[in-house]
Amino acid sequence: MAELFSILTTIIFFLLLLSSSSWAYSEEQSSFVLGEKRVKKPVYETESHFRFFWHDIVSGPSPTSVRVAQAPSEKNSTTFFGTIVMIDDPLTVGPELSTELVGRAQGFYAFSGKDSFGLLMAMTFVFTQGKYTNNTIVIMGRNDVVSEVREMAVVGGSGPFRHATGYAQARTHTLDNNTGDAIVQYDVFVTHS
Ligand SMILES: *[C@@H]1O[C@H](CO)[C@@H](O)[C@H](O)[C@H]1NC(C)=O
Ligand SMILES: *[C@@H]1O[C@H](CO)[C@@H](O)[C@H](O)[C@H]1NC(C)=O
Ligand SMILES: *[C@@H]1O[C@H](CO)[C@@H](O)[C@H](O)[C@H]1NC(C)=O
């Protein structure tokens, strides 16, 4: 009899586990945990591959990339360690700035390598064109600019990119040694709703 009861409770437990997809509120929870629910992941997700060119314009009358902070020790650093650059860089379909503008990369990059060169990229791609207009993809990660291919994480986004996961690969297309202007190809692979 006790055994039968135990089997029944186990079955009921699993049935509840399978069926409960609505918010559950419990008074025993801490004040900041407002609710919890078990969700079944959707079977279908969209995987998108975007390619565009990122223009970091530091020279000229209207730079899109400006140095906003630097450490006092930067002058002695061969890697510019401690420097922060704010960006609002145009994203275009082709490597030339004159090609179609599809969005902007807004955020900053920080020189975070003390002994070797490396950037921390923290930026939001906001699309200004096409079906993802005004939607964003958030990128974060280390950008070892001297490597041929650098990988950074897609850490989320907005609209259809809410809860997005994925990665971005950056490849330098052109670096102007005189001005510092750079054109970088970004391939972004995103899994989203
Ligand atoms: C830079 O290096 C020089 C020579 O080693 C030193 O005198 C100076 O204090 C250093 N400056 C900073 C800001 O660290
Ligand atoms: C995108 O945002 C801009 C500025 O807020 C707005 O004018 C425009 O209508 C928006 N476009 C779409 C497609 O949502
Ligand atoms: C810029 O400098 C790098 C490193 O010194 C060099 O490899 C590259 O060829 C230069 N590019 C141009 C366009 O001069």
Looking at residue 76, its pLDDT comes to 87
Q: Which residue is closest in CA terms to ligand 2's atom 5?
A: 134
Residue pair 72/122 in contact (Cβ under 8 Å)? The answer is no
Looking at residue 39, its pLDDT comes to 86
Domain coordinates in residue numbering, the chain? 47-192
**Could you give the CA distance from residue 154 to residue 167 in angstroms, rounded to a whole number?**
5
Residue 30: count other Cβ atoms within 10 Å of its Cβ: 6
Looking at residue 126, its pLDDT comes to 98
More confident residue, 81 or 37: 81
Looking at residue 16, its pLDDT comes to 47
Candidate of 101, 131, 133, 135 to mutate for ligand 2, largest count of ligand atoms within 8 Å of Cβ:
133
Ligand 2 atom nearest 133 alpha carbon: 13
Residue 42 has pLDDT above 80, yes or no: no
More confident residue, 19 or 129: 129
Q: What are phi and psi of 180, to 5 degrees?
A: 90, -5
Residue 105 has pLDDT above 70, yes or no: yes
Residues 6+ apart with CB under 8 A from 42: 193
**Could you give the CA distance from residue 60 to residue 108 in angstroms, rounded to a whole number?**
19
Q: Which residue is closest in CA terms to ligand 2's atom 3?
A: 134
Confidence class for position 7, pLDDT limits 50, 70, 90? low
Ligand 1 atom nearest 76 alpha carbon: 1
| CB of 128 shorter than 6 A to ligand 2 | no
| CB of 22 shorter than 6 A to ligand 2 | no
Provide, rounded to the nearest whole percent, the portion of the chain with pLDDT above 90: 72
Average pLDDT score over the chain: 89
pLDDT tens track for 175-184: 999 999 999 9
| CB of 29 shorter than 6 A to ligand 2 | no
pLDDT tens track for 141-177: 999 998 999 999 999 999 999 999 999 999 999 999 9
- Compute, in angstroms, the gap from residue 109 CA to the centroid of ligand 2: 27
Could you tell me the two tokens for 150? 């650098």
Class of 47-192 per CATH?
mainly beta
Give me the residue label for tokens 């990369």: 105
